[in-house]
Amino acid sequence: MVELVLVQLIVLTERVLSLLVIVYVVLSYFVSPWNTVRRTLARIVEPMLEPLRRFIPPLGPLDLTPIVLLILISVVAQILISLVTTIF
């Protein structure tokens, strides 16, 4: 029972974080940086992107760190799910 709840919580967190990153990237192309929604998303997503930007330089106008972040979120979620299922 506890295992199922923890796995569901990990999956939900993974999906929410991934959705926030995707929405933030899409809004960055179409919405002003001073928009309230975009600024709120920036407060959530940018702290996760900043450390990656130190190691991954932009390729011209392309910032690949959101893609790397989405992959890392997925990998961390899978590791946590494996640990939970192993422990319980």
CA distance 22 to 88: 33
Return left, alpha or beta for 48; rule: phi > 0 is left, psi -120 to 50 is alpha, else beta. alpha
Residue 29 CA from chain centroid, whole number: 18
> Which one-letter DSSP state was computed for residue 62?
B
Range of the domain at 46: 2-87
pLDDT of the chain along its 88 residues, tens only?
899 999 999 999 999 999 999 999 999 999 999 999 999 999 999 999 999 999 999 898 899 999 999 999 999 999 999 999 999 8
Count of domains forming the chain: 1
Q: Kindly report the pTM of this predicted structure.
A: 0.93
CA distance 74 to 69: 9
CA distance 85 to 26: 35
